[in-house]
Structure 1
């Protein structure tokens, strides 16, 4: 796959760059460039990111960072079985537990919420940092919802992190998930309150909380371009009608003149 000229491979994280040092220099550069493209495209073009991850995987399948990147690209493309396999491979290589929550979410994606709940009770969860534990909580709540256990999902999300006024990287997503669960349970008033709190924390626009809040408030967004275009069409109709009326008047006048001419000839 083509690599844009502005991509050098130097953009990748220094820890990943160190991992790639085990490869021949030229190969390491090629792998790095493909990993940069994965990171660049994964949010806006998951399938494109997936394509670059496959190239990197073909070039350096024994590098943990490559297996992890391939896992996230597959995950973003909803290829959950493939993503889970790559995450497992990366974890075997590093021994890290950081991928445990996303591995559990892959189980959800594969239609196995019970397996995700089993993973939530594993010893690995206690080794996660705060961000990982919050992520695991989100996965568990999702699994409960998959099983139709809305009340359990709501209780799962009720945590010190949710109650805290401190804004952390996970705050917006946690508040959003809680609001969404409340709404699914028919608790619209509380849901609106928490969507509003999610908006307050979501400075980077990682959720559509503002849209959900507007929807609850009954706000409808109209495309100004379409509206103006419609007005132009409406305005055109009277002008067209006026032109047609003028033509009819001219035709009538011509007919009258012709009739007068014929009478003159008869005379």
Structure 2
């Protein structure tokens, strides 16, 4: 009964307070570590709370106990978060990836691109995301996520106008607001506006300078 209560509390707190969710999941885990669904809940709670080393342990256990292949991208992301981007890239090339469902394959591509960004290989990160899924017409959550990831790489590469376009494309299919595309758009549009304003001031200054020179000639 106590395990069930902790599990229910973990689920309830997941979107409100990930750390509290993780604490409840740990409490349930301490009482029922041999139950696959408990290991799964603990893995997800640890991941959402940013405890990636613990999440990796629990994902491995849950995958072993329950045989769920779709944990693979999350495990790779944990490797990346733990400072092992090369391991994440190796996992992306594992034959197992071909047997994942479509959403998980896209997620694996996003993780691999992120790992390449971590290693400073921005061109490789961008190339990793350049696939049919990037432009396909879909409102599935993975569509917003891959477009967002693509925009993020473009911004990191110093290509803000292209990044802005792709953040808009991500926002257009992000009905569940899984990304902060709107915030990134406002930030980039604000920078663009500031630049336009500065250019305007510069233009006014040049006009004033021309007027002054004409006045001196007279």
Report if TM-score (shorter chain) is over 0.5.
yes
**C-alpha distance after superposition, 1:55-95 (max 9, x if no partner):** 11122111111101111111122221111111111111122
Matching residue within 54, 57, 65 for 1:82:
54
User: Does 1:52 pair with 2:24?
Assistant: yes
Structure number with higher helix proportion: 2
Equivalent-residue separation in structure 2 for 1:157 and 1:43 (angstroms): 28
**C-alpha distance after superposition, 1:157-200 (max 9, x if no partner):** 11111110221121111111110111101111111110111111
Matching residue within 123, 143, 155 for 1:171:
143
Equivalent-residue separation in structure 2 for 1:96 and 1:218 (angstroms): 44
1:147 is matched with which residue?
Answer: 119
2:90 is matched with which residue?
Answer: 118
User: Does 1:62 pair with 2:42?
Assistant: no
Number of residue pairs the alignment of both structures matches:
192
TM-score by length of 2: 0.84
Instruction: State the shift of 1:210 in Å.
Output: 0.6
Query: What pairs with 1:102-113 in structure 2 (closer than 5 Å)?
Result: 102-113=74-85
1:200 is matched with which residue?
Answer: 172
Instruction: State the shift of 1:149 in Å.
Output: 0.5
Query: What pairs with 1:245-256 in structure 2 (closer than 5 Å)?
Result: none
1:185 is matched with which residue?
Answer: 157
1:127 is matched with which residue?
Answer: 99
SS of match in other structure, 1:217: helix
Larger radius of gyration: 1
**C-alpha distance after superposition, 1:3-42 (max 9, x if no partner):** xxxxxxxxxxxxxxxxxxxxxxxx3xx4333222222222
Q: Which runs of 5+ in 1 are unaligned?
A: 1-26, 220-267
SS of match in other structure, 1:165: coil
Instruction: State the shift of 1:44 in Å.
Output: 2.6
Instruction: State the shift of 1:138 in Å.
Output: 0.8
> Following superposition, which runs of at least 4 residues in structure 1 exceed 4 angstroms of deviation?
none
Equivalent-residue separation in structure 1 for 2:105 and 2:46 (angstroms): 23
